[in-house]
Amino acid sequence: MQVHDPRTYRRIVLEGSLGLGEAYMDGWWDSPRLDQFFTTLLTGDIKSVADTRWPVLALTVKALLKNCQSQKRAFQVGEEHYDLGNDLYEAMLDSRMIYTCAYWKNAQTLDEAQEAKLDLVCRKVGLKPGMKVLDVGCGWGGFAQFAAERYGADVVGITISREQAELARRRCEGLPVEIRLEDYRDCRSQFDRVISLGMMEHVGQRNYRTYMQMIHDCLKPGGLALIQVCGSRCSNRTTDPWLDKYIFPNSMLPSANQIGKAIDGLLHMQDWHAFGRYYDRTLMAWHDNFEQAWGELSQKYSERFYRMWNYYLLLCAGIFRSGEAQLWQVVLSRGVLPDVYEAVR
């Protein structure tokens, strides 16, 4: 950590992680390897030696008093994060624009790793031609397009981002894919399969049961669902204050315990697959793409945005590298399956 402004220390003492992040955005300090800086802090269990600051307490009280992920607030993260600009995400992501952890087991490039992940998802749920699939949090249509082209599925994708919906419709034109601008709580139809990649992080602990009830109700009896979600090793009510303010408003990572309680007596667990370290590599690939594209992106986005976005990507890389966050693919069924579920890797 290279401190340029001595006010940095007071800001961190008073505001914790929010002050640390805002001081970086203001150019008060730097680090030659932000990802490793955060890995070192988190591996050293900084949370156990640092007092809880007011931004964390404020978020906790807010979460106790109100439903921060209510239907009225559902579209906020779409407007503030996913609608930033398709040019930004096209430059940063792979060619299919998949904004979730890739599967690097036998892959060398980001494109290969994301395609491997999409194929893994389809194989885990036994996707077959003609099956009707609900893609909850469909992003820019990458999975819907892949499932329709490679597996012959009929897909309905829902998103709370207008920018995502418009581009997804263009990318999936001519395929049996319908893209809706819709909150997950408004979905009423039934499907053979339900897929949710990187969306449960926006649900919030008050709504986990509602989310799982939606999956149950949207699945036909005997149907399978796959949830890919970033998970926390501890149960929380809130997220990091800086991430909440600047990147993902009203988001939080569920714990294994919270997921278990949400499906209790409702859905059947068939498989739980963890590969959190792959998110570290995915985030570093996104960061490399962002850096390479900055010359062009800088015509539209400010220097402060550049520092904020670098901080976001490398902070998250450090979080996954340290094991503070994990990545899970969970396969669930509505009712008992007619045969033994064989786990796919």
The domain spans of the chain are: 74-333
Q: Which pLDDT belongs to residue 326?
A: 97
pTM recorded for the entire structure: 0.92
Q: Which pLDDT belongs to residue 296?
A: 97
Residue 126 per-residue DSSP state: T
- β-strands 2-3, 132-136: how paired? unpaired
Residue 140 per-residue DSSP state: T
CA angle, 69 then 72 then 77, to 5°:
55
Q: Which pLDDT belongs to residue 64?
A: 47
Distance CA 287, CA 304 (A): 16
Distance CA 298, CA 129 (A): 44
Distance CA 292, CA 32 (A): 17
Task: State phi, psi for 255 to the nearest 5 degrees.
Answer: -95, 165
Q: Which pLDDT belongs to residue 56?
A: 53
Q: Which pLDDT belongs to residue 66?
A: 47
Q: In whole angstroms, how far apart are CA 242 and each of 34, 36, 109, 302, 328?
A: 15, 18, 30, 19, 24
- β-strands 177-181, 132-136: how paired? unpaired
Whether the Cβ atoms of residue 274 and residue 255 lie closer than 8 Å to each other: no
In the set 68, 101, 218, 316, the catalytic residue is 316
CA of residue 5 relative to chain centroid, distance: 34
Neighbour count for residue 266 (Cβ, 10 Å): 14
Distance CA 290, CA 310 (A): 8
Whether the Cβ atoms of residue 55 and residue 243 lie closer than 8 Å to each other: no
Task: State phi, psi for 232 to the nearest 5 degrees.
Answer: -100, 145
Within the chain, where are the H helices?
7-25, 34-43, 46-49, 54-65, 76-77, 86-92, 110-124, 142-151, 162-171, 208-218, 241-246, 256-263, 277-297, 303-321
Q: Which pLDDT belongs to residue 265?
A: 97
Among 167, 114, 118, residue whose Cα is nearest residue 141: 167
Mean pLDDT by 10 residues, the chain (345 residues): 95 90 97 96 72 50 50 66 94 98 98 98 98 98 98 97 96 98 94 97 94 98 98 87 92 96 98 97 98 98 98 97 96 96 96
CATH class held by domain 74-333? alpha beta
Known active-site residue 172? no
SS3 301: coil
Q: Which pLDDT belongs to residue 193?
A: 98
